[in-house]
Amino acid sequence: MPFQPRAFLRAAGPGALLIAALSACSPIVNVNAAGDAANPDCAEVMIALPPDVAGYELRETNSQATAAWGDPSKVVLRCGVEIPGPTTDACASVNDVDWIIAESTESDIWTATTYGRNPAVEVLFNPNEVASSTVLVDLGGPVSQIEQTEECLSLNDTVELPPEG
């Protein structure tokens, strides 16, 4: 006997209709996978992701080692991005995770990329809509699943400065 959708919905009752209606509300988020998304350490990060970030709910994405929160997306994460080298961009250490923060000159989107971890994790967000401190705190635990092998240093840490006065 061929599958008959109407008969299935009648038999399943209102619960099936609710599930069908809810799944239609939040389409899958299109996020391009990073080059090293298949790295096993990315799987550890993905398993540890919180159900919400900055008060926004986790949504389904269409690529490996990616995540998005909010509808429309307010925070997007990609694991396996290119590992950053030395930079003059701002670096912030939040709960023992070092992040390089790059402000876009073309949009309001900031990119926070882990520093000293392989693979690297990238988080995109608009600081006018979500607080960077909240996003980085919420994602620090999952990202710390990847061992830190280097840390951000400021100029004061690397160059001996003459005494003031």
Q: Please report, for the chain, the start and end positions of each structural domain, with discontinuous segments joined by +.
A: 28-155
State both tokens at 114: 């882990």
pLDDT at 88: 84
pLDDT at 160: 60
pLDDT at 165: 60
pTM of the entire structure? 0.77
pLDDT at 124: 97
Sign of the alpha-carbon torsion through 77, 40, 85, 141: positive
Sign of the alpha-carbon torsion through 126, 127, 130, 133: positive
pLDDT at 161: 56
Sequence-separated (6 or more) residues with CB below 8 Å from residue 122: 34, 77, 78, 79, 81, 111, 112, 113, 114
pLDDT at 134: 95
Mean pLDDT per block of 10 residues along the chain (165 residues) reads 41 36 65 97 98 96 97 96 90 94 90 97 96 94 95 63 64
CB 114 within 8 A of CB 52: no
pLDDT at 106: 87
Spatial separation of the C-alpha atoms in residues 1 and 23, rounded to whole Å: 27
